[in-house]
Amino acid sequence: MPYCTASRSCAPGANTEDLATTILMSNGLLNRLEGIRDAAQGGSYGALASSMGVTRATAQYRRDALVKKDPSAMEQWATGS
């Protein structure tokens, strides 16, 4: 399995700062996804809004729109449906 070193980049053209930014952004995304998951399972709109970084009304609108849709193939995969 390849690994990154100072002389061998795993992402050609990316520097250390680019990779660090990507990692930090992915952590924020994971936190938001966890908040969405938790709220969809019965959490409050306020908690969802906080985890998404949006207003309560926006969180409520987005959750309601999501709940009205049929589960996507990835959602079915994630839930084992």
Q: Is 2 left (phi over 0), alpha (psi -120 to 50) or beta?
A: beta
Nearest Cα neighbor of 59 from 79, 39, 38 is 39
Question: CA 5 → CA 38, 57, 58, distances in Å?
Answer: 38, 46, 43
pTM to 2 decimal places: 0.46
Residue where the block lists tokens 């990507």: 22
* pLDDT tens, position by position, 21-75: 888 878 777 777 776 676 666 678 888 888 788 999 998 998 888 788 887 776 7
